[in-house]
Structure 1
Amino acid sequence: MGIRTKLRRNRTQKKGMPPGSLVYIGDEQTEEVTISAIAFDSDGIDEYENASLDEVKTMIDSEKVTWVNVNGVHNVQLIDQISKHVGLHPLTTEDILNTEHRPKIDFFEDHLLAIVKMLDLPEESPDLDDEQVSFILMENTVITFQEKRGDLFDPVRLQLQESKGRIRKSGSDFLFYSLLDVIFDQYLIIMDEMDDRIAQLEGMIMEDPDNHSLQDINQYKNTILQLKKTVWPVREVVNKLINRKVSYIKEDISFYLQDIHDHIVQANDMVETSRGQLYGLLDVYYSSLSMKMNEIMKVLTIVSTIFIPLTFIAGIYGMNFNNMPELSWEWSYPAVWIVMIIITGVMLVYFKRKKWF
């Protein structure tokens, strides 16, 4: 059963349910949901790799800044328990469980919900891997909900462990910014990789256009479309973050938020540039294919032209007339060959001087 079929099936299960009904919508997952948690201040850090729900609740209720990372949102009961403990509205929990959301941000009195996509472009594959990450930011707490294990957050973990930069001296708002920054930096890395691949594809098309080249162009067009759907709404998310004044985001964070806004603007510009390049590659492909066909037709035309006089000579002396004096000559056969070779040579020299090949 395909992924889209599973998603449609899950959506069908929600049909007729009241708003706020909790149903997981996403890819089928078999791994157990795990929770990692980090509580820190300027003096030290407490880290839990596989935290229990009770440990998570205790850390959230402490005075330290706490980052709770939930790997997997397919355990509806667990997500609901965490959400209730921090006072999330059922509609917010419903959004977290739906992994097909467009990037968005919702502000509440004491917290916000931000949903973005974490992207990866595997080597030797034009298909983009995306994973939804939902953020809950509140005073002293950041909760991230991921679809599965594995993320881009190791640089942030390292900063916390080694007390690099200002992250251990700052609050949850700076931690929230740091996590977003890692995700959005990945957008730029992917776009740089896309530029390299498009340039490589262009070189292949110029050298030898074939059906695989057209297939690659269409695959990368789909990838760029997916990038556009992911990156474009994030601009609105960051704009709202910059312009909305809330108690749990300090004023000095706006400078850092402006930095990620610049990254998103740059990523959007790169998406549009790559999109234009791919449409240009289609023109290059068809032009190269046409030139290749013209070269083939030119060779065939030259061969056909050379054989016209040779066929004429062979046709004349292939007729069965009794009165053909040349047939009785001793050197008639080699003479015909010599004439044919001379005609072929003269025509080839002529074509060469005309630069037809």
Structure 2
Amino acid sequence: MERNINFDKWKWVQINKNDLGTMWEQETTPSGWETTIRRNITNCVKVHGGIDGEMSVNGSLIYRQNVDEEEDRQIFHFYLTSQTLVTIDLEFTAMKQISAEMLLRQLDKCDNAVDGFLFLLGELVNDLLVEIDQFEESLQSLMWGVKKRNEMRTLEHVFTQRHELMICKNLLIPIQELKMAIEEMDFPNVNNGEIFTRTCKRIDRAQVLLREYEQELDTMIHLEEVISSHRGNEIMKTLTVLTTVFTPIMALGALWGMNFKNMPELKWQYGYLIALLLIITSTLLLYRYLKTKGWTGDLLKGKKRGSFFK
């Protein structure tokens, strides 16, 4: 349904997408805009002179996105002039950080529709900042989890967090573009106003946080790659050293395990003792040679408590 909100200085028209063409005067928007928004499911921003040369910004904005389901998203469409704001499918009552009553009171204080729209964008960014704060708590837990429980499950958690961060960044980028579009149009009494400045700083704050958390996650991913590579090398080195050290045992065991009729060693009185001494001596000599060459590395050294390379 359509809802007209007439503030003291400007007008806000709220429309449901299903009611397009019946509840809304189409001449208030550019030609063809109704057809465009019916099929648009992605972010887009357009700036132009509008009807009779009036400056306007219109487009679509995804403002909610489920991190688990690609199709589970909320998108609204807008048409903005200095005195009129038309929004389609914007659930402003779903904003978590401000009540609907307080939102309308604050919008009524705005001098024009552009300031009102900027205020709405600021509240959307505020909701996003709360999600980023929750992300920070999870990131702190993950940061210590990499050290305490360095396993595949931790790496999976790292990439899950990286995906969530990408979604938050994807929600913020079109808002940043909208801010730049409004700057480009240079609406009167807007670009230097208090609401514009506050919204810009809020967007910049969100961008800085996302960028820093992105770097932290990339560092964790790089750390996991280094640890995994080191572990793989240690495992291969351990297997190689063990195989080499026990080669004399396997070779001599295979030799004396044969069942040929003429084997002089079978008649030796001290053959068993000689065989044991030969096996032990050859094994120790081979291990000493490997250790002298430095090929055993940290194979027999204990790991420090809390080490990354357990």
Alignment-derived partner of residue 306 in structure 2: none
Give the 5 Å matches for 1:93-242: 93-106=34-47, 108=50, 109=54, 112-113=57-58, 115-122=60-67, 125=68, 130-137=73-80, 142-146=85-89, 151-152=94-95, 155-160=98-103, 166-170=106-110, 173=113, 174-192=115-133, 200=142, 203-204=145-146, 207-209=150-152, 213=155, 217=159, 220=162, 224=166, 230-242=171-183
Q: Residue 216 and residue 355 in structure 1: after superposition, are their counterparts in 2 closer, same or farther (change >3 A)?
A: closer
1:313 and 2:235 correspond: no
Correspondence for 2:196 among 245, 254, 257: 257
In 2: Cα distance, 1:202 partner to 1:168 partner? 47
Q: Secondary structure at the match of 1:207?
A: coil
Once the two structures are TM-superposed, the CA of residue 310 in structure 1 deviates from its matched residue by 1.1
- Report the number of matched residues: 288
TM-score w.r.t. length of structure 1:
0.58
Deviations 1:21-44 (A, max 9, x none): xxxxxxxxxxxxxx4xxxxxxxxx
Asked if the contact 1:116–1:134 (Cα under 8 Å) also holds between the matched residues in 2, the reply is yes
Alignment-derived partner of residue 308 in structure 2: none
Deviations 1:110-132 (A, max 9, x none): 8653532203454xx49695432
1:294 and 2:233 correspond: yes
Once the two structures are TM-superposed, the CA of residue 159 in structure 1 deviates from its matched residue by 1.1
Amino acid at match of 1:118: Y
In 2: Cα distance, 1:95 partner to 1:233 partner? 18
Asked if the contact 1:121–1:127 (Cα under 8 Å) also holds between the matched residues in 2, the reply is yes
Asked if the contact 1:140–1:172 (Cα under 8 Å) also holds between the matched residues in 2, the reply is yes
In 1: Cα distance, 2:179 partner to 2:10 partner? 23
Aligned-residue CA RMSD in angstroms?
A: 4.8
In 2: Cα distance, 1:68 partner to 1:142 partner? 6
Q: Secondary structure at the match of 2:76?
A: strand
Question: Which deviates more, 283-292 or 189-198?
Answer: 189-198
In 2: Cα distance, 1:300 partner to 1:118 partner? 53
TM-score w.r.t. length of structure 2:
0.65
Q: Residue 141 and residue 327 in structure 1: after superposition, are their counterparts in 2 closer, same or farther (change >3 A)?
A: farther
Once the two structures are TM-superposed, the CA of residue 181 in structure 1 deviates from its matched residue by 1.0
Deviations 1:157-207 (A, max 9, x none): 04157x5xx545445635433321121223434455556666738955982
Amino acid at match of 2:64: L
Q: Secondary structure at the match of 1:80?
A: coil
In 2: Cα distance, 1:310 partner to 1:66 partner? 91
Stretches of structure 2 that go unaligned for 5 or more consecutive residues are 301-310
In 2: Cα distance, 1:98 partner to 1:150 partner? 24
Amino acid at match of 2:264: M
Amino acid at match of 1:94: T
Once the two structures are TM-superposed, the CA of residue 322 in structure 1 deviates from its matched residue by 3.3
Stretches of structure 1 that go unaligned for 5 or more consecutive residues are 1-34, 36-52
